[in-house]
Amino acid sequence: MTTTSLPPVLRPAHPPRHALTELADRFAREVRGELDGIELSGITLATADLRPGEAFVAIQGVNRHGAEFARTAADQGAVAIITDDAGADVASGAGLPIIVVDEPRAILGALSAWVYGTGAGDPLPLLFGTTGTNGKTSVSHLLQGLLDQLGVVSGLSSTAERHIAGEVIVSRLTTPEASEMHALLALMRERDVEAVAVEVSAQALSRHRVDGIMFDVAGFTNLSHDHLDDYADMTEYFEAKLPLFTPERSRRAVVSVDSASGAVVVERAGVPVVTVGTPAIAADPDAASRADWVVLIDEERPSGTAFTITGPGGRTLSTLVPVIGPHMAANAGLAIVMLLEGGYGWDRITAALQRDGQLIAHLPGRTQFVSGERGPAVYVDFGHSPDAFEKTLAAVRRVTPGRVLMLFGADGDRDATKRFDMARTAVEGSDILVVTDHHPRFEDPAAIRATLVEGARRARPDAEIHEVSPPEDAIVAAVGLVGEGDAILWAGPGHQDYRDIRGVRTPYSARELARRALIAAGWPAPDSHWPVPYAD
């Protein structure tokens, strides 16, 4: 079976070099083997990414200890193993010096910051970090787009992509492991990047992926049902995000108060906070209207959402975000205020937006219009939570004169508790529902679909519901069910270029599949411009 290759780990071309003895003095509890005269130029958690001269950090995984790959690391040019006691015993036959620490993952951020010179006191680009359930990817891309409009050499790390001074690399994780994150920041500094937008997941905070990083501005979007496969309940999930708003991780914060959790972030933040509210979508419109900055929706159109943001001192700006939905205007407002709090002047921001007439940003797979001038409008979106479904369906509905068809599936081996809510939201917000597969992973895709269909029928017994597998057939069926003036929202796949089927990354592009289905049905479709490996 064909699989997609993982994108490369990025490193500085000229990394700092350190004596292993100095590393051991700073971090080791015990040293096994000789370190004198050995230098290292980097660190990594994965032997597949290891380069000669680097140290291999071996941690305990779910099923195996990384130290089992110590000999592979040695063969690839590793100069040392950094691990715990159990790992040190396993790695003893690899022929490399071993630096023993208590919890290698827990110190990986501090270790990486020291190796790459990217700690809080080191010269770095301006760092913007955004967290929340939905919108953090969009805010990150909007930030980077705004920085480009200001003429700033920028960087980005999001679920979808990494950007380094114009170079674009597909992402692996929402937030990279600490060793990769610090190497990425060192590379950005090397390429004279002035400011970086970073998407920060709850898992990144819980699993030490952003340890050792000080964000100049931290942003919060919202909190809704998600990730209960990783956290015991919503309280634990929320608590995992709050450390971003402490003096150890950020200097100041911009918080959306559109969800009830925003007020709690404001109350518990240990850094100065500025608030943003969008009354049109807020759980408490009155509270949103009292925020420091208020986003008002002027017009929703297929080309985007026009809005006005007002703030202290009578400052007002009217512009457009090139994506449909009030929630996207809210994301844009958050990005604008984060830039302002990062030190970019109001006059400079407004001049750039007035010159261009809108925010210029590409948001991969975020309500992405992939159809032609005639026929049904087809949008591909990355949203995979009930809240994302509700907001995006409502946005599509408001710009669609005809019927709205929802096409979606659910992740396997992930938070199964949200599946009924996903199905309910999908069927309540659409005229036609098509249930298909997404990433089944090691679950039975038929069982996942059955749960979704059951949830949808419970919510609307009289709804038009179709179950079609695989997705290649589902989009063809969906296009056949609609016509001119109708719309299809295909939620879940977004920008992704693969499906995870029993651990295999199978090449796959929802955007390309939609294009082919439209052409097969006799509708015009844009030329394919998605650099995605796709197997016929």
- Give, for all 536 residues of the chain, the pLDDT tens digit: 334 445 567 889 999 999 999 999 999 999 999 999 999 999 999 898 899 999 999 999 888 999 999 999 999 999 999 999 999 999 999 999 999 999 999 999 999 999 999 988 889 999 999 999 888 999 999 999 999 999 999 999 987 788 898 888 776 555 678 999 999 999 999 999 999 999 998 888 988 899 999 999 999 999 876 656 667 787 888 888 999 999 999 999 999 999 999 999 999 999 999 999 999 999 999 999 999 999 999 999 888 999 999 999 999 999 999 999 999 999 999 999 999 999 999 999 999 999 999 999 888 777 888 999 899 999 998 888 898 899 899 989 999 999 999 999 998 988 888 899 999 999 999 999 999 999 889 999 999 999 999 999 999 999 999 999 999 999 999 999 999 999 999 998 877 778 888 888 888 889 999 999 999 999 998 887 654 443 33
Name the 3-class secondary structure at 276: strand
CA–centroid distance for 66 within its chain: 26
What CA–CA distance (Å, rounded) separates 347 from 408? 43
* Type of residue found at 357: G
Name the 3-class secondary structure at 182: helix
What CA–CA distance (Å, rounded) separates 226 from 279? 24
Which residue is it, tokens 């919108």? Answer: 135
Asked if 154 and 165 count as a contact pair (C-beta separation under 8 A), the reply is: yes
Query: Can you state the percent helix, strand and coil of the chain, rounding each to 5?
Result: 35, 20, 40
What CA–CA distance (Å, rounded) separates 292 from 455? 40
Note the pLDDT of residue 506. Answer: 87
Give the DSSP H or E segment for 309. strand 304-311
Q: Which tokens belong to 191?
A: 């390429």
What CA–CA distance (Å, rounded) separates 212 from 7? 24
Query: For residue 470, is the peptide bond before it cis, meaning its omega torsion is within 30 degrees of 0?
Result: yes
Q: How many residues does the chain have?
A: 536
CA–centroid distance for 115 within its chain: 26
φ/ψ (deg, to 5) at 238? -65, -45
Note the pLDDT of residue 229. Answer: 62
What are the DSSP E strand ranges found in 51-136? 54-57, 80-83, 98-100, 126-131
What is the largest distance, in Å, between two alpha-carbon atoms of the chain? 75
Note the pLDDT of residue 172. Answer: 58
Q: Which tokens belong to 302?
A: 């297929």
How many CB atoms sit inside 10 A of residue 308's CB? 15
β-strand 498-501 against 487-491: which pairing, if any?
A: unpaired
| Angle at 227 (CA atoms; ends 120, 271), nearest 5 degrees | 30
Note the pLDDT of residue 533. Answer: 41
Name the 3-class secondary structure at 523: coil
Q: What is the DSSP letter of 391?
A: H
φ/ψ (deg, to 5) at 314? 75, 15
Note the pLDDT of residue 174. Answer: 53
* Helices and strands in the chain, H and E counts: 17, 26
Note the pLDDT of residue 226. Answer: 60
Please, which residues bridge with residue 491 across strands? 381, 408
What CA–CA distance (Å, rounded) separates 56 from 70? 8
**Complete domains list, the chain, with CATH:** 18-116 (3.40.1390.10), 126-356 (3.40.1190.10), 368-520 (3.90.190.20)
Q: What is the DSSP letter of 488?
A: E
